[in-house]
């Protein structure tokens, strides 16, 4: 069965279908409604055949449907019937959780998506647990207020980088993590990663979407290798991923 994966972001909606390697996309934004999203997807995939759809949604999801409106898009998502709109079975998953699933190697892994907002998801032994760490109180706002795009613009690149390093280090200790993947469009704005962290790849969100429909299930297929031990993570040297600005 061919699957169409839709990754909804604050700046664009990205699409990929089984058997293709080049994603397609169209602009998103604060006024995008679910009906407009579906219309744009159908228009851009007229020459693609598929029997199921996976949607990475930038908000809380439960029982295969959004349960809260997205912060960086338009309204009307919670009650929208995606299955009826696409005419095929649909699975909806938090967008950070979908990319986390595609990035998973084993053990207890935290995914942090640095984009318009801050996406978070935790995977333990192949089981995906979407989280809302980004909305927990932090200083005079939330973690998302400081580490999302608005925080980057307000703090400036140097203070934002320093704060990110401190926050991630706290997460690693508090959650006793084996692995941390940092993805999203703004990961390239970091000049280095904290020890024990690796840079993600946004295209892995598509892999996560495909895994949702695999007959063997994501628990078995998403594990490619053994997770590193905590001792090994402590010995990891800081990885350079860009030049300090």
164-178 pLDDT, tens digit each? 999 999 999 999 999
Rounded-to-integer distance, Cα 30 and Cα 75, Å: 9
Identify the sign of the CA torsion 192, 195, 201, 206. negative
- Band of the pLDDT at 225, cuts 50, 70, 90? very low
At residue 115, the pLDDT reads 85
Instruction: Note the pTM of the prediction, 2 decimals.
Output: 0.80
Q: How confident is the model at residue 196 (pLDDT cuts 50, 70, 90)?
A: confident
Q: Which residues pair with 2 in a beta bridge?
A: none
Phi, psi of 86, deg, nearest 5: -95, -20
Q: Largest Cα–Cα distance of the chain, in whole Å?
A: 51
Write down all domains in the chain, each with its CATH number in brackets: 3-95 (3.30.420.40), 97-240 (3.30.420.40)
140: region left, alpha or beta (phi > 0 left; psi from -120 to 50 alpha):
alpha
CA 9 – CA 115 distance, rounded (Å)? 8
CA distance to 15, 145, 174, per residue, from 151 (Å): 28, 5, 23
Read off the pLDDT of residues 37-83 as tens digits, 9 standing for 90 and up: 999 999 999 999 999 999 999 988 999 999 999 988 999 999 999 99
Kindly give the pairing relationship between strand 3-8 and strand 52-57: parallel
The CA distance from 50 to 108, in Å, is 33
User: Model confidence over 139-157: pLDDT tens digits?
Assistant: 999 999 999 999 999 999 9
The DSSP symbol for 243 reads -
How many beta carbons lie within 10 A of that of residue 207, not counting itself?
20
Q: How far apart are CA 36 and CA 90, in angstroms?
A: 17
In the predicted model, what is the mean pLDDT of the chain?
A: 86
Let me know how many helices (H) and strands (E) the chain has, helices first: 9, 16
CA distance 186 to 148: 9
Q: Which residue reads 């993570």 in tokens?
A: 233
């Amino acid at each position: 069965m061919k699957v169409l994966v839709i990754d909804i972001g604050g700046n664009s909606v990205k699409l990929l279908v089984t058997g293709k390697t080049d994603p397609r996309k169209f602009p998103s934004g604060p006024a995008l409604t679910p009906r407009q999203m579906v219309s744009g997807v159908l228009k851009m995939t007229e020459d693609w055949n598929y029997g199921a759809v996976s949607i990475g949604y930038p908000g809380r999801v439960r029982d295969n449907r959004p349960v809260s409106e997205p912060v960086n898009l338009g309204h009307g998502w919670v009650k929208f019937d995606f299955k009826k709109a696409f005419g095929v079975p649909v699975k909806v998953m938090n967008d950070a959780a979908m990319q986390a699933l595609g990035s998973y190697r084993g053990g207890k892994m935290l995914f942090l998506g640095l984009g318009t907002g801050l996406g978070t998801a935790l995977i333990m032994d192949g089981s995906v647990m979407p989280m809302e760490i980004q909305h927990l109180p932090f200083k005079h706002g939330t973690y998302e207020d400081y580490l999302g795009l608005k925080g980057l613009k307000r703090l400036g690149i140097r203070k934002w980088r320093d704060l990110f390093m401190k926050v991630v280090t706290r997460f690693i200790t508090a959650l006793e993590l084996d692995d941390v993947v940092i993805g999203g469009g703004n990961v390239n704005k970091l000049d280095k990663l904290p020890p024990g962290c690796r840079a993600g790849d946004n295209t892995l969100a598509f892999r996560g979407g495909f895994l949702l429909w695999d007959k063997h299930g994501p628990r078995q297929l998403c594990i490619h290798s053994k997770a590193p031990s905590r001792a090994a993570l402590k010995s990891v040297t800081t990885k350079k991923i860009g030049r300090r600005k």
